[in-house]
Copies of this chain bind each other. A is one copy, B any other.
């Protein structure tokens, strides 16, 4: 693909932040296509010089100037990455001066605090949350509901499991997962087990035809996956949420990040790590 522009996401740590903001910016441009390359752990002048040479080579042979999105913290490493023939967008340097001025304090320029493990206790809390959502994914117990920060409720395949995992990994939140069974849906009351935890409940719903599609991948031509059954289950779940005042959102057009951050916000949950 000789006509694609090469884009580098460079970081002294994981590169996740540089990728994420860099990609947000790139999504604003429709015409060009990009070859993306992430270069994590560029934390010495030598590594930065080697990478700069590689970017220089690409700049010499490509028709288009490479883009370099970087969040490197150390000044000497950053300096080694200034490639004349590339557009370097520096997420760190651009803002740090303004912040120093406002905070009246020099930046420490220490690497690895953002996605690092500087706080072992918080880290353990996060792993505990992950294990919580893994261990309690199928078959909920009262104890689990009691311990949970939030209880996600919805029909099978409405997006509960990946959302629970994301809430644990991204926010350290213990999310329990309560799948609404056909019996639950037939009853006019809330599932008995959930009654003491009504305040923690958060409903997920989904467009019946999307649900039909997802379930058909798993069990083609089953009653479970049929359009009729999907429509009925979704209707009953939504009536239950409305009737009992359980907040709920539709996951149909949302990414896992969007579902999780909406729940954090709407349920007033606080990041635990």
In the bound assembly, the distance between CA atoms of A16 and B261 in angstroms comes to 8
B residues less than 8 Å from A131 (CB atoms): 161
B residues less than 8 Å from A39 (CB atoms): 265
B residues less than 8 Å from A125 (CB atoms): none
Per-residue CB contact flags for chain A residues 93-117 toward chain B (1 = under 8 Å, else 0) read 0111011001101011110011111
Copies of this protein in the complex: 2
Per-residue CB contact flags for chain A residues 109-136 toward chain B (1 = under 8 Å, else 0) read 1100111110000010011001100100
Per-residue CB contact flags for chain A residues 234-273 toward chain B (1 = under 8 Å, else 0) read 0000000000000000000111111011101100000100
In the bound assembly, the distance between CA atoms of A16 and B242 in angstroms comes to 29
Distance of A114 from chain B, by nearest CB (Å): 4
Contact B87 A117 (CB under 8 A): no
In the bound assembly, the distance between CA atoms of A168 and B181 in angstroms comes to 28
Q: How many chain A residues touch the partner (CB < 8 A)?
A: 72
Q: Which 8 A-B pairs have the closest CB atoms?
A: A27-B113, A28-B107, A14-B261, A115-B257, A24-B114, A14-B257, A17-B20, A40-B261
Interface residues of A (CB under 8 A from B): 13-17, 20-21, 23-32, 36, 38-41, 65, 67, 71, 73, 87, 89, 91-92, 94-96, 98-99, 102-103, 105, 107-110, 113-117, 123, 126-127, 130-131, 134, 137, 161-162, 165-166, 169-170, 253-258, 260-262, 264-265, 271
Can you list 8 residue pairs at the A/B interface with Cβ under 8 Å? A14-B257, A14-B260, A21-B71, A25-B95, A40-B262, A41-B261, A41-B262, A117-B253
